[in-house]
Amino acid sequence: MIIVNKQGTRQVLSSLEYENEDELKDVFLSNISELLSGVTTIETKSFIYIKELDGIDVALIGNDGSLFLAETKLARNNDARQIVAQLLDYATKLQSKSFRDFEDHWTRRSTNKSKTLLAELENSFEIGNEVLDQLKENLEKRRFNLILVMDKINNDIRGMAETLKSMPNWFVYGIELTKYSQNDLKIFIPNILWEEEVEKKPSYRQQIPSDSKFLDSYTKAGLGQQIKDFVSFFVEFEENKKNIDNIEVYRTPKYLNFGISSRVISICLHYDPQYEGNIQFWCFKKEYGEKIIEILSQYEGMKKIKPLRKSFGKVGEWDLRSFSKVTFEEILQKLSKIE
């Protein structure tokens, strides 16, 4: 890594070894949302997790019911090459388990004081029942996100990961977390692998709803004009007919998304109004939270506006009935200039 200060002075930092595998795991768990929020093919915003679930290092459930299985290894360890086999073994075993078995394992291992998985989901997310239903569906359809977390993923391990990537409903990611140090600072640089392969995967692409699915579902809910305006506004950005600095748009299996300032701010709309029918505003840098709330509070139809309790989270919702292209563009212009 090369660091250049304002005076042009260069400092070259060499990567450092982790003290042990627990340090790598702790860095991953402490920064899960920050690490994964920038991945186009992962739309989950927040997570709950447990360690050591029936052999896997970390199991995570997202606020959208996504299931993630993560294995951590240091490249220098003698068993580093086992990371793929261990993920394969656990994912295969999970396919044969009932949801009740999974739920019992989770509840026994969880440090949360909730007595059931549903209660833990309700405490962690605002829509526990919906998250539980989606989690059940993902388990039934064997739809897993598998994550290899290492300080360095060498070519041998990349080759072995092809076994995992060949499974139709398994979405596989590699995260290399390189460690550096400068004075009293520890610096961790992530490198995300195989995101493009997931995006091209038929089982992933098939999940992305068409514009007509958005239009049909919201029209049935009495929001036909609003959804037409929202989708056409999104498409203008998608086709480069409209542009605002620091704004990008992208599609994921359940949402149309606007990303601001490298997705430090995320704005999304779910395809099903019965599940989540308002425009959601998420923030992934706590220091931006107050400025975002100040902007959102100026507009009619904003609700559930609340300060961030953690380093990231949802800061507000906009009732789609109040949507207009002019107002939304004004909001985007203001949010794009937050620094």
Cβ distance 248 to 258 under 8 Å?
yes
Cα–Cα dist 264/78, whole Å: 38
Size of the chain, expressed as the number of residues it contains: 339
What integer pLDDT is reported at residue 152 of this predicted model? 94
- Give me the mean pLDDT over the 296-319 stretch: 87
| Cross-strand pairs, 177 | 190
Mean pLDDT, residues 60-66: 90
Mean pLDDT of 311-334: 92
Give 100-107's long-range contacts (Cβ < 8 A, gap of 24+): 102/139, 105/53, 105/54, 106/50, 106/53, 106/59
pLDDT of residue 175: 94
Name the pLDDT band for 300 (thresholds 50, 70, 90).
very high
For 123-163, what is each residue's pLDDT tens digit?
A: 888 778 888 988 998 888 888 999 999 999 999 999 888 87
Q: What pTM value is reported for the model?
A: 0.73
Quick check: 290 and 307 in contact, CB under 8 A?
Answer: yes
The pLDDT tens digits of the residues spanning 102-124 come to: 999 899 888 887 888 998 998 88
User: What is the pLDDT confidence band of residue 14, given thresholds at 50, 70 and 90?
Assistant: confident
Q: Give tens-digit pLDDT for 257-276.
A: 998 987 788 899 999 898 78
Residue 182 pLDDT class (50, 70, 90 cuts): confident
- The predicted structure's pLDDT at residue 327: 97
261 or 311, greater pLDDT? 261
